[in-house]
Amino acid sequence: MEQEATEHAKPGQVTPEPAAPGATAPGADTVRRNELAIATVKRFVAWSAIGGLVPVPVLDVLAVGGIQLQMLRRLARIYDVPFSENAGKSVVASLMGSIFPASAASSAAFGVGSAMKAVPVVGTAIGTFVMPSLAAGATFIIGKVFMQHFASGGTLLDFNAPDYREFIKTHAADLSSKP
């Protein structure tokens, strides 16, 4: 169906109908979700770094896990994905198991970083530097993985951490190459 030429269109050229007032352009919802998700991940990365500063060994790891679970809950809400506390916990745990075994040194560093806080003075200082950066990096990767998973129509129930190994390696490499 051909429309009349407008002052901006050449005679005979088909022009799209103007959008109804208040209507959004196709894909605008996707762009807006992505912007919200990125802002959410950035906010929780910062909170994870702060959680990594908790001076008590193991309590810091629990704090970071809780922060990551809350981030997952918010991302699920952004992407209109049903959220279950139990499914969320198991998904975060399986993803953490996928992130860190890719590098045994990273896995050991996370545990050692937390345990070092038990050593007076020197251990506390080392743990204070190690844990926030490990917590922030892990939270960033978890956030990016779930942005990808939810954007592609996935849910917590169909999440399979091994499917994202290459994605995780790519983002982990990006993190390690930043100053």
State the Cα–Cα distance between residues 115 and 81, nearest whole angstrom: 36
pLDDT values of the chain reduced to their tens digit, one per residue, 179 residues: 444 444 444 444 444 444 444 444 557 788 999 999 999 999 999 999 999 888 777 788 888 889 999 999 999 999 999 998 888 888 887 777 656 544 434 444 555 555 555 566 666 667 677 888 888 988 999 999 999 999 999 998 898 888 888 888 887 776 666 65
State the Cα–Cα distance between residues 126 and 117, nearest whole angstrom: 7
Neighbours of 45 (CB within 10 A): 21
Q: Model-level pTM greater than 0.85?
A: no
Q: Is 106 exposed, middle or buried (0-12, 13-18, 19+ CB in 10 A)?
A: middle
Cβ neighbours for 8, distance < 8 A, ≥ 6 positions apart: 15
